[in-house]
Amino acid sequence: MKKNYNKSTEEEYPDISIITSPVKSFFYTVGDMLSFARSFVQNLFERPQEIRELLKQAYIFGNGSLGLVGITAFIVGMVITLQTQPTLAELGAESWMPSMVSISIIREIGPLITALICAGKIGSSLGAEIGSMRVTEQIDAMLVSGAKPMNFIVKTRVLAVAFALPLLVFYADALAFAGSFISLQMEMNISLELFLTQALDAVKLSDVIPATIKTFLFGLAIGIVGCYQGYYAKKGTQGVGNAANRSVVLASLLIFVIDLLVVQTQKLLF
């Protein structure tokens, strides 16, 4: 005897667009962003080279992030030391504290914390600034007048972030060392000369070079994502807000992906 099915097609086959639509949107965004990055690379050596605008943006990004990056790095250096010192004291390995802190800060904590702070501060400002240019049709006006917004707006800002971020990381590392020294001074009464000797002796060139390279890549990722989201922002104030928000989210995600890839590559090469 045949069974009688009275269910509708929608009940038998649930709408899977709820799942597939975000996935498609994600891959479309990745493809568009890669195309945008290719356009950026193609314009790297195209004249005119807006050196003055590049230096201006690098100063704005770097100087505007000094306070937040410095305070965060100083506190992180103190917290790492305060959390680790009791455990090493139980093992009788307190003398390893400066070496352990310096390696962890230079290899991972300094670049990652600084990049995430800049993803939030610089990435959102790029998305909002360029998104406002798109909404107010300034970019369209540049195209009509024969100017090259990709050259003047995008290239200068992406390179500015990429060059400013390594300098911010060195600055953050120094302040993290200062925070760590103050914590150790309170706990162990260690001298500054002994702290710096042990901390710097543990650092090798194979620690500094990969950290600097991935910091530069972090800067490129933050700049490209922020500029892309702003450049293709939709009309209205909501579009500008969405561009700023997506810039932070995607840049932060890319930072972790790049970090993982660089660490794996570092294991193979070093």
- Average pLDDT along the chain: 84
Q: Would you state the pLDDT for residue 8?
A: 45
> First CA to last CA across the chain, in angstroms?
72
pLDDT, tens digit, 9 for 90 and up, residues 149-200:
888 888 999 999 999 999 999 999 999 999 999 988 887 778 888 888 888 8
Percent of the chain residues past pLDDT 90, beyond the cut: 39
Q: Would you state the pLDDT for residue 213?
A: 92
pLDDT confidence tier of residue 57, bands split at 50, 70 and 90: very high
Mean pLDDT of 239-246: 87
Q: What is the CA radius of gyration of the chain?
A: 24
The Cα–Cα gap between 88 and 94 comes to 5
| Range picked from 87-101, 130-144, 241-255 for highest mean pLDDT | 241-255
Q: Would you state the pLDDT for residue 33?
A: 82
CA–centroid distance for 236 within its chain: 27
Q: Would you state the pLDDT for residue 238?
A: 83
The Cα–Cα gap between 156 and 227 comes to 10
Mean pLDDT of 95-121: 90
Confirm if 157 and 223 have CB atoms less than 8 A apart.
Answer: yes
> Is-cis flag, bond preceding 48, omega within 30?
yes
Among 202, 159, 195, 180, residue whose Cα is nearest residue 85: 180
pTM of the model: 0.84
The Cα–Cα gap between 176 and 185 comes to 14
Domain boundaries, the chain: 23-269
